[in-house]
Every structure is written in structure tokens, then in C-alpha cells.
Amino acid sequence: DQQVKQNSPSLSVQEGRISILNCDYTNSMFDYFLWYKKYPAEGPTFLISISSIKDKNEDGRFTVFLNKSAKHLSLHIVPSQPGDSAVYFCACPTGTASKLTFGTGTRLQVTL
């Protein structure tokens, strides 16, 4: 059973507009969340994270929002740029040894 879910496999957004990527989780005990970005033929790279003691974390064009009651987080990219076209994974630590569980990913395409 998927503990971390991304229900939208793909998203297309025009350059300059806002991209919103969503992620849902099942366990209310999860207390830290991360977003990773992956280009084809490269490994994922860390983008931004949020602790459950916060409901928002911002880093430049990227903002992550956390709604604990809904067990939902979202990544906002404003303004979207063509270089943002990639697959985005949400993730959270589950179990021991810093193990991360990843979502299924959302492929973002930013069009000109």
C-alpha cells in the first residue's frame, strides 16, 4: 500500500505561470517531507523540505505547503521556467536508518 501518493502523473504549465504539484500521505506520524527533482538520465536531486512543525517553507521560486490535518503537501513553483521540466518526487522518512519512501512522481512540462 502506497504510503506516499502523487495522484497526478503529469502536468503541463505555460512558462511564467504557477506550477502546483501535489502529494498525499497516509501516516499522520510522518513529520518531515522532501521534494526531489529528476531529469532524464540523471539521479534525483534535493529541492526543498519541510518539517511538520511548519506549514510553509520557501526557497526562491519554490514553496512547499503542508496541511497536516489533510495529510497533504504541495509544491508551488512561481514563475515556472522551461528548465523546471522534470519529474518531481515527494518523499518522507519511514522506518530506520534514514530510509526515505518516495511517491510515484509527477512529470512537469513547462511550455513556452
Q: Contact positions toward other proteins, by CB under 8 A?
A: 6, 9, 32, 34, 36, 41-46, 49, 51, 89, 91, 93, 96-105
- Our CB check for other proteins shows the closer of 74 and 94 to be 94
Please state, in angstroms and rounded to a whole number, the distance separating the CA atoms of residues 80 and 109.
10
Write down the least CB distance from residue 44 to other proteins, Å.
5
- Closer to other proteins at the Cβ: 90 or 110? 90
> To 10 degrees, the CA torsion angle through 56, 23, 106, 93?
90
Query: Which of 23, 24, 17 has its CA nearest to residue 106?
Result: 23
User: Taking the CB of residue 19, how many other CB atoms lie within 10 A of it?
Assistant: 24
At its nearest, how many Å lie between other proteins and the CB of residue 57? 12
CB of 53 to other proteins, least distance (A): 12
